[in-house]
Amino acid sequence: KKLIHHANFAIHPVEDGLDINSAADYVNLTDGDRSAYDQFMPFKKEMTYYGGWIPGTSFESYPANLGWVMPKRGVILLTIHYGPSAKEEESISGVNFFFKKAPIERKIDVVSLGSAGVGENSIDPYFMIPADSIKKFNLKIVTPKDQSLLYIWPHMHLLGKDFKAYAVTPDGKTINLVSIPSWDFRWQEIYRFKQLIKIPKGSVLTMEATYDNSRNNPNNPNNPPKMVFSANDMKSSDEMMTMLMLFLPYKEGDEKLLLK
Q: Can you give the residue ranges of every domain in the chain? A: 4-256
- Which of 21-25, 111-115, 197-201 is modeled with the greatest confidence? 197-201
**Closest listed residue to residue 153, CA positions, set 130, 127, 180, 182:** 180
**Alpha carbon distances (Å) from 123 to 145, 158, 163, 167, 189:** 22, 19, 14, 16, 23
What average pLDDT does the segment 160-167 reach? Answer: 98
pTM for this entry: 0.85
* pLDDT band with cut points at 50, 70 and 90 for residue 84: confident
Indicate the fold that domain 4-256 takes in CATH: Jelly Rolls (2.60.120)
Per residue in 67-81, pLDDT tens? Answer: 888 899 999 998 888
Sign of CA dihedral 234, 235, 241, 243: positive
SS3 (DSSP) at 4: strand
- State how far the Cα of 245 lies from the Cα of 260, in Å rounded to an integer: 18
* pLDDT band with cut points at 50, 70 and 90 for residue 8: confident
* pLDDT band with cut points at 50, 70 and 90 for residue 203: very high
Angle CA(74)–CA(76)–CA(81) in degrees, nearest 5?
160
